[in-house]
């Protein structure tokens, strides 16, 4: 088999397949199975700031206000200890990089959990800052600045690589990525997947929309990785969202990614699918004369005029004229 090794945020991966943060990675035993199935790395199920805050709020009592702070601190400490144990146990059972994950939306004191996450043995830390900006008095650029502030805060307390997983609701991801690189980010993942609500018109209630991604979702991260990797080329990128096939993994690397985060495809096909992905990629490399992932990484990104014309095009023009 060809050399499928790649690098991501300073980590060496035996192949580009990263299992993204999800229910697939919420136990050490599951993570062991994913490692044995051939994954290059795993991102642990996220520690959610929002969940911790909601649980603390639900347990507050209007009668015992002096105890509310204690309750909130207890819940926070309990959730963190559970998460630290997940890191420790996964590291004992897995021979691949174990990446911790924090899902947050404020630059709060709890971000200092990053130090304890490093001490527990995590190889890197992925930060998800996912929020919809709806305040009518919103100050332009404040959401982007929040990413930078949280990254700076974490870099002050932790020495492991920090990976920033961005949402797609940004005006100019490139400008933000450039600032994240300048402030010490080791890699960027494009993009985080929003929870999508739907409406049941018979029950007149909210219901979840599609849980899993689909292959059409790949187009957006593919475009932005291709552009970002040509303009901010000193850090690593991973594609996330819509990568369901080995062809999608190859496309992502051609666009400039060094790795691909996968979730839905593994849910739908089980961990056994990882071996199929790696075999297809190796066979494709052999057929096209590539001895390493590095040799074809970014070959079709936006580094030249043809790439810029294609990836930055926003109108149909001649490329889809037959469909008009």
How many Cα atoms are found within 13 Å in the side-chain-facing hemisphere of 133?
Answer: 16
Note the pLDDT of residue 318: 52
Question: Is residue 1 assigned to a domain?
Answer: no
User: How far apart (Å, rounded) are the C-alpha atoms in residues 184 and 150?
Assistant: 11
User: How far apart (Å, rounded) are the C-alpha atoms in residues 12 and 16?
Assistant: 10
User: How far apart (Å, rounded) are the C-alpha atoms in residues 25 and 122?
Assistant: 14
Note the pLDDT of residue 109: 61
User: How far apart (Å, rounded) are the C-alpha atoms in residues 290 and 217?
Assistant: 28
Nearest to 246 by CA among 220, 272, 217, 277: 277
Angle, helices 142-157/173-182, rounded to nearest 10 degrees:
20
Total domain count, the chain: 1
The CATH number of residue 161's host domain is 3.20.20.70
Note the pLDDT of residue 33: 98
Question: Is residue 213 assigned to a domain?
Answer: yes
Alpha helices in 158-304 (DSSP H): 173-182, 219-231, 246-255, 264-269, 273-287
Which residues touch 319 (CB under 8 Å, ≥6 apart)?
310, 313
Whole-model pTM: value is 0.88
Note the pLDDT of residue 305: 59
Note the pLDDT of residue 212: 80
Question: Is residue 10 assigned to a domain?
Answer: yes
Note the pLDDT of residue 216: 84
Question: Is residue 282 assigned to a domain?
Answer: yes
Note the pLDDT of residue 89: 98
Cis peptide before 169 (omega within 30 of 0): no
Note the pLDDT of residue 211: 77
- The b/e string for 8-47 (b: 16+ C-beta within 10 A; e otherwise) is bbebebbbbbbbbbbebbebbebbbbbbebbbbbbbbbbb
Domain of residue 209 covers 6-323
Per residue of the chain (324 residues), give pLDDT as tens: 569 999 999 999 999 999 999 999 999 999 999 999 999 999 999 886 655 555 555 555 455 455 545 445 656 667 789 999 999 999 999 999 999 999 876 766 667 788 999 999 999 999 998 667 767 777 888 889 999 999 999 999 999 999 999 998 888 999 999 999 999 999 999 998 776 788 889 999 988 887 787 888 999 999 999 999 999 999 999 999 999 999 999 999 999 999 999 999 999 999 999 999 999 999 999 999 999 999 999 999 988 756 666 766 655 555 555 555
- Whether the CA torsion 178, 173, 6, 120 is positive or negative: it is positive
Note the pLDDT of residue 143: 86
């Amino acid at each position: 088999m060809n050399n499928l090794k790649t690098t991501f945020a300073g980590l060496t991966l035996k192949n580009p397949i990263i299992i993204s943060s999800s229910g697939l990675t919420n136990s050490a035993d599951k993570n062991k199975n994913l490692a044995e199935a051939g994954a290059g790395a795993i991102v642990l199920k996220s520690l959610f700031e929002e969940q911790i805050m909601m649980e603390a709020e639900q347990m507050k009592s209007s009668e015992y206000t002096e105890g509310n702070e204690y309750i909130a601190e207890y819940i926070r400490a309990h959730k963190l200890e559970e998460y630290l144990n997940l890191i420790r146990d996964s590291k004992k059972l897995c021979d691949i990089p174990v990446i911790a994950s924090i899902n947050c939306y404020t630059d709060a004191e709890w971000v200092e959990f990053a130090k304890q996450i490093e001490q527990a043995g995590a190889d890197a830390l992925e930060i998800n800052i996912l929020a919809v900006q709806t305040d009518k008095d919103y100050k332009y650029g404040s959401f982007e600045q929040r990413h930078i502030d949280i990254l700076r805060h974490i870099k002050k307390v932790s020495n492991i690589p920090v990976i920033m997983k961005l949402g797609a609701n940004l005006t100019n991801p490139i400008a933000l990525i450039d600032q994240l690189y300048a402030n010490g980010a080791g890699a960027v993942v494009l993009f985080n997947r929003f929870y999508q609500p739907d409406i049941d018109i018979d029950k007149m209630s909210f219901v979840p929309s599609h849980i899993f991604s689909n292959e059409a979702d790949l187009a957006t991260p593919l475009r932005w990785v291709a552009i970002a990797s040509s303009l901010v080329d000193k850090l690593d990128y991973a594609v996330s969202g819509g990568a369901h096939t080995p062809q999608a993994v190859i496309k992502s690397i051609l666009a400039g990614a060094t790795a691909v985060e996968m979730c839905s495809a593994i849910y739908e096909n089980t961990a056994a699918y990882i071996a199929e992905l790696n075999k297809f990629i190796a066979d494709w490399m052999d057929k096209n004369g590539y001895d390493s992932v590095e040799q074809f990484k970014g070959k079709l990104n936006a580094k030249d005029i043809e790439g810029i014309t294609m990836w930055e095009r926003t109108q149909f023009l001649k490329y889809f004229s037959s469909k008009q």
